[in-house]
Each structure stands twice: as C-alpha cells, then as structure tokens.
Chains A and B, each alone.
Chain A
Amino acid sequence: DADVTQTPRNRITKTGKRIMLECSQTKGHDRMYWYRQDPGLGLRLIYYSFDVKDINKGEISDGYSVSRQAQAKFSLSLESAIPNQTALYFCATSDFSTGGSYEQYFGPGTRLTVT
C-alpha cells in the first residue's frame, strides 16, 4: 500500500461549491504539506503543518483552509471553489530532526477541475 494517499484522485466541481481533499500517511511523519501544481509554475506551497497543533500558511493560502485531524491526516478545503483553482494538488510528508531537513514524500496527486 502507498505510504501517502490522497482522495479523491480526480474531481470535477462547479464554481462556488465547497470541496475537501484528503491526505493520509502511514510513514509516521510529523510534517505534512499541501501544494498545487500548475503548468509552467512548478509546485507552490499552500499550507503546512509541523504537528497536530501547528498550522502555517504557505505562499498561496488565500481561498484555502486546512485541518490536521491527526498526525496521519491532513485535509485541504476550498470553501468556495473558483475556476483558477483548477490544478493538480499534492500532499507531502517529511520527517525532521534537529539540524536537518529531510526530503518530502508525495502522494499521487488530486486533479481538480472547477467549471
């Protein structure tokens, strides 16, 4: 089974609808992240969480919210979806130790289309 899973894998929704993307991990990592990928723009950080009680905004948090329900679960919500939120969304996790920055492990991605 995959270490980082995302549901749904594909979603088409209408403008104005609320939608939630879910991420679960079995790697035992404390840190979790949400990114969006747009063609030609690479990956941009939306939100990140270093533990259950720690939530931080990333580069492009406007229009999004997150919930860290448990160490293993991190959800991303679009309160009122708009077409320019059409993108590929990735969840990632990482381990961390004092003085180190470890690689991030990514889920398979969720392709979201807002019509």
Chain B
Amino acid sequence: AQKVTQAQTEISVVEKEDVTLDCVYETRDTTYYLFWYKQPPSGELVFLIRRNSFDEQNEISGRYSWNFQKSTSSFNFTITASQVVDSAVYFCALSASNTGNQFYFGTGTSLTVIP
C-alpha cells in the first residue's frame, strides 16, 4: 500500500525564520516518485518539485530546499528565511509504478508566516 504522512497539520513561524515541513512515505515499490505542491489561499495547486527514488541528492531552489532520505522514508521541505507569501498549504505526494503511477497525497501542512 502507498501512504504519505504529513504529521504537522499547522505551523506558524515569524517572517525570516526557517521552517521544515515533514513528509514520510510508505511504499513497497522500488521505483517511485515524490512530489511537493503548494496551495496558496487563492486555492490553486502549484507544482514545486519531483524526485525519483534513484536520486537521493538534495535539491535547492532559491529559498527552498528538499532533503530526500530513503533510509527514513522521508522527503522533507525546508523554507529558509520565510516570507509572508510562503503562507499556504503544502502537500507531499507519492507515485509508484506498481499502482499505475497514481498519486497519493498527504493531508497537507498549513503554514502561516507572521509578519
């Protein structure tokens, strides 16, 4: 079975603080993909990153960075020097080849950045 757990339901930080959003996944497939999406208050879902199971390199994009660790089945997302515009709900998702590449989403983490 495929499962994504985002244990942090809500997080509040003060602007300029760093914040890490946790994502833990479960799959028996050896080939899988992990994703992060952002849902700002306007409601649309914005794709942020894709990572496949064969690539454990961390990735940095501006103030965003992702830490993929297969040993702990985690794919955590860090925002450095948070800004008010980062306030949104963030979803982690898993796609595995043995389930037809369906997406399984976590329940999301609502991040509020306080000015």
Contacts and interface: CB of A to CB of B under 8 A. Distances in A.
A58 B32 CA distance: 18
A49 B102 CA distance: 11
B104 to A, nearest CB: 8
Interface stretch (A22-30, A64-72, A76-84, A102-110): A102-110
B62 interface: no
A92 B45 CA distance: 10
Contacts of B103: 33, 43, 45, 104
A101 B33 contact: yes
Contact of A96 (B9, B31, B101, B108): B101
A90 interface: yes
Interface residues of A, number: 25
Contacts, number: 49
Interface in B10-57: 31-33, 35, 37, 43-45, 47, 50, 52
Interface string B56-75: 00000000000000000000
A88 B43 contact: yes
Contact of B100 (A43, A56, A88): A56
Bin chain B's interface residue count: 20 to 34
Contacts of B45: 43, 90, 92, 106, 109
- The main secondary structure of chain A at its interface with chain B is strand
Contacts of A96: 101
A100 B53 CA distance: 11
Contacts of A105: 47
A88 B95 CA distance: 22
B44 A42 contact: no
A48 interface: yes
Interface of A: 33, 40-45, 48, 50, 56, 58, 88, 90, 92, 96, 99-106, 108-109
Interface of B: 9, 31-33, 35, 37, 43-45, 47, 50, 52, 91, 95-97, 100-103, 105-108
Given A48-B102, A104-B35, 7 more contacts: A40-B107, A42-B91, A92-B45, A103-B50, A104-B103, A106-B37, A108-B43
